[in-house]
Structure 1
Amino acid sequence: MSPRSKEQHDQVRRERMDQIRRAFSEVYLEKGVQGTDIGEVAKRAGVSRTLIYYYFKDKMELIQGMFQEYFDAAKEFVTGCLLTAESPLIRLERYARFYLETAVTKPRRVYLYRNMINDMPIVFGGQSQDYYHSFLDSVHGPLVRTIEEGIAAGQLAEVEPVLLAQTYMGGVTGAMLELAKRQVTADEGHVLVEQAVSLIFRGIVKGTV
């Protein structure tokens, strides 16, 4: 058998990391930081403990690595969603819809990120504030910039940009958590998402506040 090419090796690694990531999220959501066990993660991922130790030297490095992977994915989404040449309203609506629809279709992901934010002090210790502020800057920076562009374009209410961004984000987060705890059909979820988007934008669009 010929050795794997670099592309094949990278593909296998991505697939294994996806398995580990999904298994970690299940165990972490059920048992928290203290209860998360490498053996349990390996079992649910369908891989050996040895394989996980190949990627992570111990339990805490696994948890820190998984936290970082999820945070990096969030940063990448925010950048791709908000830092475009489209109208600020289009970007902001796409951003809100993504999170609200995720709350309906993948509620566990909402709880995953919420718990990760809350557990940062446990996972990163003395570096937790640095990680937290770095994450906020990478997520809220593009949002504030989009809000500023919307105000300058006359699309959004002429309110201090950071305050308007926090008001918008508060509406998205609140609606997201409410939708995540409900068990609704796809049709019911669609109606609720539309209602939430309408309410959120009623509060930030120029002429409505």
Structure 2
Amino acid sequence: MAHTKAEKVKNAKPVRDAQTTQSVILAVAEEEFAQHGFRGTRTEAIAAKTEVSKSMIYYYFKDKEGLYQAVLEQSHADLLETVDKLELEHLSPEIALKKFLKALLDCVSRNPKLPTIMFYEAVQNQGKYYKRSSSVNIDTTLVQILEQGVATGVFRQLDPFQSAINIMGTCLFYFIGVGNIQQFPQGKRLLSKAMLEQHAQEAIALILAGVRQS
């Protein structure tokens, strides 16, 4: 039987040290925030599932807001590190865009709860915590790639900001809408490795075709 990320972390060590305890809390909190959003998540539920007292959670993360902000940072850490290593500023705009999209989709495939957490962040909090997080750098990077592509004539005359919004929607709605999409016969195995790879290929091809000069 497959185990959740939280269960794997929770069972990692028979005796928890501080780092393991924080990892367990973050893993369970991520699942709760993905399911209920910031407003609907109860710290008591996280404490019960982690077998850690509420006071201990607050010892590590100060309060519910601190825990939520930590989850946002951790959820984006993989993507931020991957994108940073690509050194996109040294690549042509089209190659940079392709590598950025591949990194984005690979990272989200490894953590499919991330888009849902960000959806709740937009709906419930109007981006209050998003703007404080390093995840803003991801969207800024995409806009900069598009700006460079337009400036050098590689991409058509598009609005980089509006196009970045549409590109993110193309990549991430797949994960946000999984519950609805799975109702179609073709969507039964939406999060399987094969389907995730197909989604990445289709999304990247569609986006590149849309931004190129005709």
1:8 maps to none
Cα separation, partners in 2 of 1:179 and 1:96, compared to 1, 3 Å: farther
- In structure 1, list runs of 5 or more residues that go unmatched: 1-11
The change in CA–CA distance for 1:110 and 1:42 in structure 2 (over 3 A counts) is same
Whether the 8 Å CA contact 1:27–1:36 is kept in 2: the answer is yes
Match of 1:201 in 2: 208
Q: Which structure is larger by alpha-carbon Rg, 1 or 2?
A: 1
How far has the Cα of 1:192 moved from its partner?
Answer: 2.9
Distance of aligned partners of 1:139 and 1:82 in 2 relative to their CA distance in 1, 3 Å threshold: farther
1:22 Cα deviation after fit: 0.9
Alpha-carbon distance, 1:113 to partner: 2.0
SS at match of 2:113: helix
Map of 1:163-174 to 2, 5 A cutoff? 163-174=162-173
Mark the CA change 1:206 to 1:160 in structure 2 (over 3 Å): closer, same or farther.
same
Q: Distance in 1 between matches of 2:140 and 2:90?
A: 16
Any residues of structure 2 matched to 1:58-207 within 5 Å, and which?
Answer: 58-67=63-72, 69-70=73-74, 73=77, 76-77=80-81, 80=84, 83-102=88-107, 104-121=109-126, 128=128, 131=129, 138-175=137-174, 177=176, 181-182=181-182, 183-184=189-190, 185-207=192-214
Residue aligning to 1:7:
none
TM-score under structure 2 normalisation?
0.67
Indicate conservation of the 8 Å contact 1:156/1:205, yes or no.
yes
| Residues paired across the two proteins, number | 188
Q: How large is the RMSD of aligned CA atoms in angstroms?
A: 3.4
Structure 2: gaps spanning 5 or more residues:
1-16, 183-188
Match of 1:47 among 49, 52, 56: 52
1:43-75, Cα deviation, whole Å (9 max, x unpaired): 3334343421212343344334434x2576388
Q: How many angstroms apart in 1 are the aligned matches of 2:163 and 2:36? A: 37
Percent identity over the alignment is: 23
Q: TM-score normalised to the size of structure 1?
A: 0.68
2:116–2:175 Cα contact (<8 Å) kept: no
